[in-house]
Amino acid sequence: MLEALLAAPALVKVLGSLAIILIVNLLRAPLLAAILVGALALALWTGHGLGTTAFIALATLISPTSLLLFCIVYLVMGLSNQMDATGSMRDLVGAVRRRFTHRTALAALPALIGFLPMPGGAVFSAPLVDGCDPDGAILPDLKTQINYWFRHIWECWWPLYPGVLLTMQLSGLAVWQVMLYGLPLTAACLGAGYLFLLRRVHPAEAIAEECGEAPRDSLPRLLTPIIVVVIGYALVRVGYAALGRVMTLTHMSDFIPMGLGVLAAILVLQRQRPLPRAVWRKILLSPKTFIMAGIIAAMQIYGAFINAKLPGGTLMGVMDAELHAWGIPLWAVTILIPFISGFTMGVAFGFVGASFPIVISLLGPNPAFGSLLSTAALAYGFGYLGMMLSPVHVCLLVTNEHFNTRLHRTLPPLIGPAAVVAAVVVMVHLALKVLVK
């Protein structure tokens, strides 16, 4: 029995570890514990000993990438708590509710935060969505799904996202070319999100009497912290690229400009609405922040075992070889490799980095532009859907943590909107294949 388990295909091992995470969470264990159990199961199932497992986990936690990620999460949580303590979050929610219908406000707030490509950014928008439901009339599961789904509608083409940047790098496509397939996918996400999620919310109009007192500031001023993050991120990226033209510079992590942008937003908000030291002490030592950081750490460890070297290569490489050995058609491989990568990694730059070199190589040398563009649309679209349905997507996990919901209840209702988007992905792929030469 043990030998049969160890000899199972790599795909079975990965999907099995994800099933373990879902089952452990279903048994009402905390998300942090569920992910750690799944990571340990994956490590042992793929042949790592206890010593190697511990070494990989420790090396992951103290790596520069992980440390920068922890700093980003800490800053993002700090900004969110600061906006809550200053009342600017309440005012922002009130200003949006006064201008839009109940349904539109619920979708607009996470979509707005979606322009910030910050790791686990859904934890920033979750309190905003919660603020649109002061009476608790909407089920927590539905608020989880709305926050998570609409937080990611721009990730198909918005060039600040690392996954989009890596797509352009690996495929050679320009921003406007990525937008040719990305914008229709965003439109499909909006439509599917309305059909399957927002229609379940009572269509009450947002009238001023229901929104409490008028906000202290105008909507543009309330949006200042978010605007500062976007502008700060872009300025650091552009400035560093310009500096790299006149001198030799090492590669800069995407986390650095994002961290600087969030830090600038914190300083700007402190100037707008100062907080005393006692409040800052509570913000900096918030237990919720450390819980979120722990979930991020567990996710990093799980991802490390996905990417760890094995005798036959990485898990993704082994799965690719298995699919070819099983005689899977080329078009199916173009769908399956990105989808499985997204499903197992739960992050866009992960599925792009793991699958696009394989998918692009299948086109042969010097592929026609139409073939390259249509293939990129198909691969990215299904990788994106795999990411959105992944039980290890950080944004889903932190949203579940905020609303105190469970994975087995929040994931299945997303299959419907994902199926609609999948149909659009296929149609866009076929249209590009026929129309673009």
| SS3 per-residue string spanning 249-267 | CCCCCCHHHHHHHHHHHHH
Residue 212 covered by a domain: yes
Per-residue burial over 246-270, b = 16 or more CB atoms within 10 Å of its CB, e = otherwise: eeeeeeeebbbbbbbbbbbbbebbe
Residue 51 covered by a domain: no
Average pLDDT, the chain: 85
Enclosing domain of residue 335: 60-292+313-435
| Tokens matching residue 87 | 């009342």
**Total residues found in the chain within this entry:** 437
The whole model's pTM is what?
0.77
Residue 239 covered by a domain: yes
Residue 165 covered by a domain: yes
127 with 151: CB under 8 angstroms? no
In the chain, % of residues over pLDDT 90: 29
Structure confidence by residue, pLDDT tens digits, 293-315: 887 788 788 888 887 887 767 77
Residue 33 covered by a domain: no
Residue 39 covered by a domain: no
Domain tally for the chain? 1
340 CB-near residues (< 8 Å, 6+ apart): 11, 14, 316, 319, 386
d(CA 413, CA 149): 11
Residue 164 covered by a domain: yes
With a cut of 50, say whether residue 398 has pLDDT above it: yes
Closest CA to 155 of 119, 191, 106, 199: 119
Longest dimension (CA), the chain: 67
d(CA 114, CA 152): 6
Residue 352 exposed, middle or buried by CB count within 10 Å (0-12, 13-18, 19+): buried
DSSP structural state of residue 286? -
| Tokens matching residue 133 | 């439901």
Q: How many CA atoms are closer than 13 Å to the CA of 333, on its beta-carbon side?
A: 23
More confident residue, 1 or 42: 42
Q: How many CA atoms are closer than 13 Å to the CA of 197, on its beta-carbon side?
A: 32
83 with 225: CB under 8 angstroms? yes
State the residue for tokens 């690719």.
Answer: 320
Structure confidence by residue, pLDDT tens digits, 226-235: 889 888 888 8
More confident residue, 422 or 5: 422
The pLDDT of residue 209 is 39
Residue 34 covered by a domain: no
With a cut of 80, say whether residue 114 has pLDDT above it: yes
